[in-house]
Amino acid sequence: MEGWNEAELTAPAGILPAGLWGQVPAGDPYLLHANLLTTDILNAQSVFEVRTGAPMQVRAQFTPYAGNTRLTLVRPSDALRIFTPPQALVKLEMLVESIGGTNELGSRLYQWAESTISRANSTGCVSPR
């Protein structure tokens, strides 16, 4: 995704399309980091889910607190569900990193690995394949 996109949930529970309204390049899977930001203490009943399949089943579920370090693999066919009891102000923050396509995470890791192997071979180091 380019830059920031902002959307408002009109209810305390919402199901978002994992394709993020066409914002994920070429329908590639992506890594997602999600957390809820609030001016109050985050309610312990708040939950973020990744649902998959037909019928939909929960594949990942966690509390999206600000200190959350969880990365979740999401496919465009998945559904994302967020629930939080009513609070004064709540924002959902999602960091999306596509792993397919040109200049995305997958291709950057591949290029890094190839350059590391090339440097190791040019200095006489033997690297396993």
Nearest to 82 by CA among 114, 118, 34, 22: 34
Spans of the chain below 70 pLDDT: 1-27, 100-109, 124-129
User: What pLDDT, on a 0 to 100 scale, did the predictor assign at position 2?
Assistant: 46
Query: pLDDT tens-digit profile of 81-104?
Result: 888 887 777 787 887 777 766 556
User: What pLDDT, on a 0 to 100 scale, did the predictor assign at position 58?
Assistant: 92
Check: CB of residue 9 under 8 Å from CB of residue 89: no
User: What pLDDT, on a 0 to 100 scale, did the predictor assign at position 16?
Assistant: 67
Q: Of 2.130.10, 1.10.260, 3.30.70, 2.60.40, which CATH number belongs to 13-122?
A: 2.60.40
Domain boundary assignment for the chain: 13-122
